[in-house]
Amino acid sequence: MDSILDGDVQTVFENKDLVDSSTIVDQDRIYGRDEQLAAEARAFRDTLDGERPPDLLLYGPSGTGKTLTVKAVANKVKERAQESGIEFDFVAVNFKTMESHTLDRAVWKLGHQTARKAGVVWDVPRSGVSTDMKYTRLYEIVDDHFDSIVFILDEIDALTGSTGADEPAYSRLLYSLSRVMSEQHVDTQLSTVVVTNYPKFRENLDSRTDSSYNPNGIHFSDYDANELIEILERRRDAFKDDALEDGVIEIVAAYGAQNEGDARRAIDLLRDAGEIANRAGDPVVTQDHVRSANDSVVKNRVLEIVGGMSVQKKLSLYAAALVAKENEGAAPSPMVYDIYKILCEGSDMEIYTQETVNSHINKAGTYGVLESERSSGGFKSGVHLVFKFTEPVGAVLDTLGEDERLQEIPAKELGEVVKRRLRD
């Protein structure tokens, strides 16, 4: 133990931060996003002219560089602004990682992060204080400490708010932030950058919000395997010279391409392979290390999600996975509910409502095992969801099947039921 604590351990890493997907990197390490970087830079350029940058909407699949590029550009603008004596900064909040997806908690989180950037104390408790008071304190900090500020609102579609609300919480947040200057809450130039995997989230905006919130859209497409190779090559110096076996970057890129071109996962996988090599005392990261890392990542992600689930949540997710297995990874919620009811009847379990089942499945979405999108417009009428798995469906079914309460499920027979209904 002493040798470990003293740092006397062989490592394959030279600069491990470069394979941390949360690290803000220089633009020269970003590949395949020149058009998006240029569009973001043009928008942020207004800050250096003393003008308010336009609101931006960055949309596209997970791991395609949305947050990475905008943080890189904002960081560069911050450097330029300091040289010109302009107090500019950006505040990034990922709403998917919050423990509560309400408007009140979102405003508190924005205030907390903004106060930290301003170097002041956020003296507002999480509870016992109205949302309006949180807004007021947030705007005071913004007005007192910044000439210009950008709020990067990541995974905003997760900010759904309370069940039964007239509009999602993100609609109310965008309405307030889009009107903050016109209503003279602040003199600071305040803009928003919304980052989402679901551009259709705008369909659920309240009409007032839709009228006042008019962002410039920037689209991000999937990376292919060749682009992922280029991205990973730009992180090669995270490792010591000759610490990567030939073919390692290519196999990592191949796994990343299988995950819908997700560069973030590819970077994380390369780091995990290096850590496996370190634990084994190997001086070189091999393709076998990559394969072990990938197997471990998939298993651990799924285990993390399903391990502590109640039996009802497991039945709900199992039903979704059964449908998705026969439908190219997608599971329409009405069919999922039909299969769920069959599962409950066969297991002598209480049958919950479709709304509850959808909620159980969406809970798995907060951990990244699947995503959901509405199949029809309107916040209230959009009860028809389509669940799309981002983790291997087979791994989800296998892990759920380890629960003894689910081991008697006739998965093959139910699969045939799903196939017949899909044909119908």
Q: pLDDT value at position 39?
A: 97
Centroid of chain to Cα 146: 28
**Which of 142, 165, 17, 153 has the alpha carbon at shortest distance from 98?**
153
Over residues 278-312, the pLDDT tens digits come to: 999 999 999 999 999 988 877 776 776 676 788 89
223 annotated to bind ligand: yes
Q: Write phi, then psi, for 267 (nearest 5 degrees).
A: -65, -45
Q: Which ranges of 307-405 does DSSP label H, i.e. alpha helix?
A: 311-326, 333-347, 354-365, 393-400
pLDDT over 80 at 367, yes or no: no
Would the pLDDT of 6 be above 60? no
- Residue whose structure tokens are 């983790």: 391
At 147-206, the pLDDT tens digits run: 999 999 999 988 988 766 788 999 999 999 999 988 888 999 999 999 998 878 888 899
CA pair distance 341, 349, nearest whole angstrom: 9
| 323 CB neighbour count, 10 Å cutoff | 30
Spatial neighbors of 19 by CB under 8 A, at least 6 apart, are 13, 235, 238, 267, 268, 270, 271, 274
Give the closest residue to 180 by CA, choosing from 203, 154, 148.
148
Q: What pLDDT is recorded for position 366?
A: 65
| Structure tokens given for 247 | 């073919």
Closest CA to 206 of 181, 230, 171, 248: 171
Q: Which two tokens stand for residue 321?
A: 């996975």
Q: Is the pLDDT of residue 263 over 50?
A: yes
- Ordered by where they begin, the domains of the chain are 33-219 (3.40.50.300), 224-304 (1.10.8.60), 309-423 (1.10.10.10)
Query: Rounded to whole angstroms, how far apart are CA atoms 71 and 62?
Result: 16
Q: What confidence category does residue 378 fall into, taking pLDDT thresholds of 50, 70 and 90?
A: very low
Which residues partner with 190 through β-bridges? 149
pLDDT confidence of 23, banded at 50, 70, 90? confident
Identify which of 384, 389, 375 has the alpha carbon closest to the alpha carbon of residue 326. Answer: 389
Judge whether 66 is annotated as a binding position: yes
Residue type for position 185: H
Residue 131: CB atoms within 10 A of its CB come to 16
Angle at 27 between CA 293 and CA 254, to 5 degrees: 30
Helix axes 287-306, 248-258, angle to 10 degrees: 30
65 is in an annotated binding site: yes
Q: Could you count the other beta carbons within 10 Å of the beta carbon of residue 188?
A: 20
Q: Which one-letter DSSP state was computed for residue 99? A: S
Contact 222, 181 (CB under 8 A): no
Would you say 400 is a known binding-site residue? Answer: no
Is 116 annotated among the ligand-binding residues? no
CA dihedral 90, 91, 94, 95 (to 10 degrees): -130
Confidence of residue 139 (pLDDT cuts 50, 70, 90): very high
